[in-house]
Structure 1
């Protein structure tokens, strides 16, 4: 193998890695500094892997969890099918073709051949461009298939009774009262508790008051908040949320599991989100201008106890 062939092989391998990474990079948006860090975190009981129904406040889909202690396949939990990108059981023809296509192509390029080394035209630079383009197309198709496979069945598993849970929705004045058709009735006092928790949790986060957070959220959520706060300390910054105002909210679904109540509510709120240097007070991220966020918060309470935050999902 000549130096030129080695260089060309290395270039092809790098191009393949970049083509694999680009779709993933483009799907990642900068994390927000507010409580939760812009991630979808927590657990929703047996519905952790079922997306909450869309509402007037959050008409789109809620993101699957980036961080959760709930294990797929646990009793009562709807586990997403499969164990990975290409090794999921029953992945279908597209997954098998994508795996075989990429595997054969990568091996061919790493050993000095082209993606289709038997076709002479692909040994040229135009052939290389075509190979990279084909890889990108196949990866995008496979990722699209994988996302549908892992997300849509879970989304379709939502309770039909809860789909109309926001029939008496109000906007601009806090929560709509929802409907009594949900498996668990949510009353005005519950909505007041949800709005109060939204403000109290953001305030405890701004004060870095972990003890206070333990009274407002589940241990799982507090573990995520604590890890995020530790990262801020390592960067020598502090995040402050102020001027919080609930603009709109409504019930996505509410249900009961044994002696435990759950309620997922969509909330659109305004806030000032600033991150400053701990030592100098210099602004690092954010601004004094109010921004808006729309998230689905899930609350949990043992029978007769107070509501606590158990999950935040981005929309």
Structure 2
């Protein structure tokens, strides 16, 4: 292969390398897809307290029926934090310029190796415009792909000053919030000041049992059991995920769920409901497979993975605990 041919291939590699800077990373395959969703009553927009199991705390909810606080309620500190996060996030234009720069640099270097000068092959004005046009086309296609995947796999974050989730953005309570009847942390009415409570050993046994029962019901797509073990809000989210997988001809299989470590983050009472947020580190075997063939699309059907999450449970006084929210460890 001649150096000139190598230089031409080097330009292509440089263009592809620049374009890969824009490609999003796929989420993990497991119940909830590694995202946070649900509610924690009046503490939905507050981070759970750190524990030995999750010393770094938890990420905020990405899907929640609870309305996000207004900028005035969140305070200037939250607004400044949001602005800083926005400034730190790489922009589309910046990534595109990085891709263009990488392409030009690669072309120049390989041009020098071929002995034809730093900008061999791009000496003419038409050659330069042709190269930039290719970059623009690639960037445009990747931009459209990013918007498509972001809308499908990254619902809007319900944070201070940001857009609310689809349930909270409606002027009237959504059917899912109305069906909750106050159970599940959607907070359709103002709650009294939370009061800290103490839990018994049987409560923690219930949390460990629900960890296995919820994952098993999700794997079997048993929505009747899910409705019994989850709040209506959470049952709706799980039903959405199951329906989306079914439309793609996929099924999310989970097995061998084992609690490795867990401790209480917070436990409190609001009106007639009691809440408990527990940090749990557990192992499970999880694989997203094709329904027709059983071919594994994502995950592993034999190797267990470890997960650390905050699970929030809620119950009415004298009732059974139900799963109200899941948050990923920070």
Alignment TM-score, normalising by the size of structure 2: 0.57
| Cα contact 1:248–1:268 (8 A) shared by 2 | yes
Deviation digits for residues 18-38 of structure 1, max 9, x if unmatched? Answer: 99xx7995xxx5323222221
Question: Residues 298 and 199 from structure 1, CA distance in 2 versus in 1: closer, same or farther, beyond 3 angstroms?
Answer: same
Decide whether aligned partners of structure 1 residues 193 and 68 sit closer, same or farther in structure 2, where only a CA change above 3 A counts. Answer: same
1:300 maps to 2:314:
yes
1:226 and 2:222 aligned: no
Provide structure 1 residue ranges, at least 5 long, that are not aligned to the other structure: 1-17, 83-87, 107-146, 152-181
DSSP 3-state at the match of 1:251: strand
* 1:219-247, Cα deviation, whole Å (9 max, x unpaired): 11111101111111111011111111000
TM-score normalized by the length of structure 1: 0.59
Equivalent-residue separation in structure 2 for 1:90 and 1:62 (angstroms): 20
Contact 2:69 2:160 in 1 (8 A): no
Q: Which one of 62, 71, 82 corresponds to residue 66 of structure 1?
A: 62
Quote the offset at 1:274 in angstroms: 1.1
Of residues 260, 267, 271, the one that matches 2:273 is 260
- Answer whether contact 1:49 1:79 (CA < 8 A) is retained: no
User: Given that residues 298 and 312 in structure 1 are in contact (C-alpha distance below 8 angstroms), is that contact kept between their aligned partners in structure 2?
Assistant: yes
Runs of 4 or more off by more than 3 Å in structure 1?
A: 22-25, 78-82, 88-92
Which of 49, 62, 76 is the equivalent residue of 1:53?
Answer: 49
SS in structure 1 of the partner of residue 59 of structure 2 = coil
Q: State how 1:231-250 maps to structure 2 within 5 Å.
A: 231-250=244-263
Closer, same or farther in 2 for the Cα pair 1:300/1:42, shift >3 Å? same
Aligned counterpart for 1:193 among listed residues 206, 219, 222:
206
Q: 1:290 is matched with which residue: 304, 312, 323?
A: 304
User: What do you get for the CA RMSD once the two structures are aligned?
Assistant: 3.8
1:311 and 2:291 matched: no
